[in-house]
């Protein structure tokens, strides 16, 4: 007896399931953890945007009922107030937008100057904290303890009181006939009205590029031949020489003025107000104490064996610090130093207490004068966020360039 292959399960051909459709299925998406996460994030963002729109719409409606105009059109209206210190031409007939530009430039001016001084002082004091010289070590430790453990606002007020307590212009401290220090601030040689600062900036940029190429060449030559190439003197000559060459090639357009006492005031040159000096010193000296500790921690993080190996090769202590210790310590130093730079920029708003016309101070005047409180606060927040985010981005890029890479 034979079995019918068509009716027998053993002889029948296996049934094929119908092909799955590639269409998007909600059921499958719901069981996907990543898809659920995306849906949840979109839902949360949508709720937050809706709440924000509701709050802003209600605020605009309430202001409109009281006859208060909203929007950013006020930026193009006449400001109607003067600013005591401005790096660009400004008077009361200019717009609120130009007043904001003055505030941003003043904030950047004091912040950048303070970052430079804080970085230099922090590096020097951090290295001094590790010195075997007892006097140097104790002085550096005293600086860190003093400036780190006193409120920054107190330090700013102290420097301002000290600055305004200086003698008047006629009894000003004469610093070699080139600079004067008085209760009007610090007067020092600077560019005149017809100076072309952009030529000096171009010269410095060219010099920095050449110095970078020189240091790379010296490092490559040291690796390949073991011969040290002097770098410091050529670098200084390049930094001074490139701007000087451009100054000579373009007919000496940079008019440098020397401050002179005229009447009851010191005129000419570069003028730094007491408010600027107080805020500059308060920011830089305070942050330098924190950077010094960051530098010290970064140096201590370097393996002691590498330092001993470099000293065994006959390198001087300064060469070991510059070529072995600091390059490796930078990967530890840069991230926390970035946080200190961002903190310094934000703390420049403390200048409002001593009357320095930085962004926060001018924004208070603008929101009172214009009545656009919400818009003024939003503009100030956006500016501070843009500045600090830009600094953090640049420092992160630099941090990525100094990290040790495996080959």
pLDDT at 114 over 90: yes
pLDDT at 209 over 80: yes
Specify the higher pLDDT residue, 145 or 40: 145
Q: Are 222 and 228 spatial neighbours (Cβ–Cβ below 8 Å)?
A: yes
pLDDT band at residue 147 under the 50/70/90 scheme: very high
Q: C-alpha 77: how far from its chain's center?
A: 31
DSSP 70: -
Q: Which residues contact 396 (CB under 8 A, 6 or more apart)?
A: 338
- 3-state SS record for 3-51: CCCCCCCCCCCCCCCCCCCCCCCHHHHHCCHHHHHHHHHHHHHHHHHHH
- Structure token pair of residue 295: 């530098």
- Structure token pair of residue 183: 């209760």
Q: Are 147 and 288 spatial neighbours (Cβ–Cβ below 8 Å)?
A: yes
pLDDT band at residue 254 under the 50/70/90 scheme: low
- The alpha carbon torsion through 277, 279, 285, 287 (nearest 10 deg) reads -150
Across 139-162, average pLDDT: 94
Per cent of the chain over pLDDT 70 is 84
Across 343-364, average pLDDT: 92
The pLDDT of residue 402: 67
Per cent of the chain over pLDDT 90 is 32
Q: Are 273 and 85 spatial neighbours (Cβ–Cβ below 8 Å)?
A: yes
pLDDT band at residue 95 under the 50/70/90 scheme: very high
pLDDT band at residue 3 under the 50/70/90 scheme: very low
pLDDT band at residue 61 under the 50/70/90 scheme: confident
Most confident of 60-64, 252-256, 295-299, 372-376: 295-299
Specify the higher pLDDT residue, 307 or 360: 360
Q: Which residues contact 271 (CB under 8 A, 6 or more apart)?
A: 184, 185, 186, 187, 190, 259
Q: Are strands 265-267 and 260-262 parallel, antiparallel or unpaired?
A: antiparallel
Q: C-alpha 378: how far from its chain's center?
A: 21
Mean pLDDT of the chain: 81
pLDDT band at residue 130 under the 50/70/90 scheme: confident
Q: C-alpha 50: how far from its chain's center?
A: 34
144 vs 124: CA distance, rounded Å: 12
Weakest-pLDDT range from 45-49, 242-246, 314-318: 314-318
Phi then psi for 342, rounded to 5 degrees? -65, -40
Specify the higher pLDDT residue, 243 or 42: 42
Side-chain half-sphere exposure of 375, counting CA atoms within 13 A = 20
Q: Which residues contact 239 (CB under 8 A, 6 or more apart)?
A: 204, 207, 208, 211
- Structure token pair of residue 203: 């010269």
The pLDDT of residue 220: 81
For residue 128, give the 3-state DSSP assignment.
helix
- Structure token pair of residue 86: 């401005």
- Structure token pair of residue 46: 């949508």
pLDDT band at residue 5 under the 50/70/90 scheme: very low
The pLDDT of residue 23: 46
- Structure token pair of residue 276: 């600027």
Q: Are 125 and 140 spatial neighbours (Cβ–Cβ below 8 Å)?
A: yes
pLDDT band at residue 171 under the 50/70/90 scheme: confident
Most confident of 13-27, 71-85, 265-279, 287-301: 287-301
Torsion sign, CA atoms 107, 108, 110, 114:
positive
The pLDDT of residue 41: 87
Burial-class residue 172 by CB neighbours within 10 Å (0-12, 13-18, 19+): buried
32 vs 137: CA distance, rounded Å: 60
pLDDT per residue as tens digits for the range 298-320: 888 888 777 778 777 777 777 77
């Amino acid at each position: 007896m034979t079995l019918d292959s068509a009716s027998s399960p053993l002889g029948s051909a296996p049934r094929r399931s119908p092909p799955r459709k590639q269409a998007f299925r909600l059921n499958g998406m719901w069981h996907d953890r990543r898809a659920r996460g995306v849906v949840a994030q979109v839902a949360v963002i949508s709720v937050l945007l809706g709440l924000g729109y509701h709050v802003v719409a209600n605020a605009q409606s309430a202001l409109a009922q009281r006859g208060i105009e909203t929007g950013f059109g006020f930026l193009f209206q006449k400001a109607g107030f003067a600013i005591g210190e401005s790096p660009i031409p400004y008077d009361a007939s200019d717009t609120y937008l130009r007043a904001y530009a003055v505030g941003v430039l003043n904030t950047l001016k004091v912040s950048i100057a303070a970052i430079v001084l804080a970085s230099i002082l922090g590096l020097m004091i951090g290295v001094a904290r590790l010195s075997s010289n007892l006097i140097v070590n104790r002085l550096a430790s005293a600086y860190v303890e003093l400036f780190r453990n006193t409120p920054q606002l107190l330090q700013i007020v102290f420097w301002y009181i000290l600055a305004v307590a200086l003698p008047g212009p006629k009894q000003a401290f004469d610093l070699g006939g080139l600079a004067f220090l008085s209760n009007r601030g610090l007067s020092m040689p600077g560019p005149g009205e017809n100076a072309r600062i952009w030529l000096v900036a171009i010269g410095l940029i060219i010099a920095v590029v050449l110095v970078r190429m020189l240091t790379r060449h010296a490092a490559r030559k040291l690796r390949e031949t073991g011969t040290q190439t002097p770098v410091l003197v050529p670098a200084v000559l390049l930094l001074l020489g490139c701007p000087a060459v451009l100054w000579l090639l373009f007919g000496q357009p940079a008019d440098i003025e020397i401050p002179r006492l005229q009447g009851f005031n010191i005129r000419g040159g570069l003028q730094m107000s007491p408010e600027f000096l107080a805020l500059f010193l308060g920011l830089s000296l305070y942050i330098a104490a924190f950077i010094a500790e960051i530098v010290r921690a970064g140096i201590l993080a370097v393996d002691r064996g590498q330092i001993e190996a470099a000293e065994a090769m006959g390198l001087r202590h300064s060469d070991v610090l510059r070529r072995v210790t600091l390059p490796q310590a930078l990967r530890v130093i840069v991230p926390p130093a970035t946080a200190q730079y961002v903190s310094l920029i934000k703390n420049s708003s403390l200048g409002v207490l001593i009357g320095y016309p930085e962004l926060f101070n001018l924004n208070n005047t603008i929101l009172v004068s214009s009545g656009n409180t919400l818009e003024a606060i939003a503009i100030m927040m956006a500016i501070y966020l843009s500045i600090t985010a830009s600094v953090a981005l640049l420092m992160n890029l630099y941090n990525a360039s100094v990290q040790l890479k495996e080959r």
